[in-house]
Every structure is written in C-alpha cells, then in structure tokens.
Amino acid sequence: MTTRELEVPATAPPSGPVATILGPFLPVDRPEPRTPTGFYTDTTICIGCKACEVACKQWNQLPSDGMHWSGDSYDNTESLSATSWRHVKFIEQFASAGTQGPSRWLMMSDVCKHCTAAPCQHACPTGAIIYNEFSNVYIQPDICNGCAYCIAACPFGVITRSNLDGHAHKCTLCYDRQRDGLVPACAKACPTASIQFGPIDELRDRARRRVEELKSRGTSSAYLYGDAPTENYSNLHSFYLLVDRPSTYGLPESPFNPWLRMRGDYLRSLFGGLAGIVVLLIVWTLRMP
C-alpha cells in the first residue's frame, strides 16, 4: 500500500547557537543556475474555485486571514498579502436587464509576478531578496529585517509586511518544492490547468499558441500580459492570458520600473544638493562681516 518517494537525504543545515547567530553572515556556495521557471495563468479557463489559494496556504502553512465578507463578487481575499500568496479575482460584467451588452464573469488567479528585473529586489537594502537558481524572486526570511522598502517598490502591490512577525512575505514559487522537482502547490492543485508551471520559455511558447487558437475561435480580445518586456518594464516570470484591459483585472496598464527614472533622479539630487551648498556658501559669505 505504501510507497516511498523522495528518498533524498536532506542537506544538513548548520545548527547550534554559533551557527544560528553567525549563519546568515557566513559565506556559502551559490547553487548552480537551473532552467528559469515560472507561472503561466490562462484566465479563460479559471473556474474561480480558489483551490490555488488553499493549496498555497496548506503547503506553506500560511495563516487564515480571518473572516471579512467583502461583497466584491466572490472575492473575499481582496488582495495579495504577506499571508495570501494567491488571490482569485472575480469580475462581473453584465449589462442591465433588457439591454444588450457583455454577459460574462471573469476570473483570474493573481500571484507575485516574479519579474525578470524586480524593483523589490533592487530596493532591498539587506540583500534578503534574491533571484534564486530558478530565476524566481525569493525573499530570504532569515535575512529580511522588515524595512518594507520592497513594498513601496513593487508596482503590482504584491508584497506586504505581516504584523505577525514584522517581515515581508510573498509567493516563493514553492522554492522548496522546486528543489525536489515538485510542481508548486497552486499549479499542481488547479483543476482546469489555468495555472501552469514550467520552464518559462516553454510556457511563453505555449501561451502564444493558445492566444492564436483563441483568436481563431473568435476570442479576438485574448492577449498576453507580461510575456515580453515593454519599454518601461521587464518581462514577468508569472504572466497572464487576459481578455480585457489589464486594469479590469486590477493590474497596472503599463507597469513602470522606478529604477528607470533613478539615473535622472540621482543627478537632479546631486546637482540640487550642490546648488544648495553653493547657495548656502554665498549666503554665509554675504553674512560675513
């Protein structure tokens, strides 16, 4: 009756008080890079069951967020947060009775975008946020100091800081599962394969074929969000097939990487500062008797 799987000897972690205190500062070897992976979420086949949300909470043992009825269709999760790493959105589009118009109920499972160039990673002052060997964006919980810079940096509003432990948390793309060759919990659970996991290049190819297929069947509004870089933002390791404007799904129409403006901002600050000093010097000189 019983099978044993994954009989891999666990890597011995450093232990003992010294290791606990010093561990985070000790140099360790980086794992070898692996094929970049990610999520492709096809919203046209999402049935809004929220299996992804529960599977995520179960695997990661995330706490329940309590009970708040939002009244926003069937969405009571409301947003991604430190304790909800998957969030299924519901968009009711129905014309009023007796009028012609759309008649559809859109559903979409949202998650961290795992940006190729992630502003959160850039903003993190402690080096807690890394690109791991699967090119996923991962917050190292043992390094994060809870400064919340990443929260301000994320253009998608993915990250929040938990008031339970004071640290920032978000989807890990099941880093622990990927290490053992397992599919992330949400993608594994998804009953209709709306959430797909795999090598990001394969996913992009698959998604582009799917868009073509949908268009040939009459869904002309189908397109991919985040599969390719734009002028202002990198591509995403978690991208979406949508049939309405991004803002309909609560996504930024045109995400902007704040660091693109930083070069000018730094120069302006530098020159502004210098100008200030000059002014001060002049004032000071003039006040000199």
What residues numbered 102-121 form the site for other proteins, per CB under 8 A? 103-105, 107, 116-117, 121
Contact with other proteins (CB under 8 A) among 16, 30, 247, 286: 30
Cα 77 to its chain centre, rounded Å, is: 16
Structure tokens at 30: 């980086």
Report 194-213 residues binding other proteins (CB under 8 A): none
Q: Which of residues 216-235 bind other proteins (CB under 8 A)?
A: 229, 234
32 binds other proteins per the rule CB under 8 A? no
**Segment 74-103, which members bind other proteins (CB under 8 A)?**
74, 76-77, 83, 92, 94-97, 103
Radius of gyration of the chain (CA): 23
Nearest residue (CB) to other proteins, 27 versus 289: 27
Cβ-proximal residues to 237 (8 Å cutoff; 6+ apart), any chain = 36, 37, 38, 39, 113, 114, 115, 116, 135, 136, 137, 173, 200
* Binding-site string for other proteins from residue 8 to residue 27, where x marks contact by CB under 8 A and - marks none: xxxxxxx----x---xx-xx
Neighbours of 71 (CB within 10 A): 7
Site for other proteins in 136-195 (CB under 8 A): 138, 140-143, 162, 164-167, 169, 172, 175-177, 179-180, 182, 185, 188-193
Nearest-approach distance from CB 218 to other proteins, in angstroms: 11
Residues in the chain: 289
Rule CB under 8 A: is residue 37 a binding residue for other proteins?
A: no
Task: Output 35 or 259, the one with its CB closest to other proteins.
Answer: 259
Contacts of 57 (CB under 8 A, 6+ apart): 63, 64, 84
Tokens 């949908």 belong to residue? 214
Choose between 95 and 277: whose C-beta lies nearer to other proteins: 95
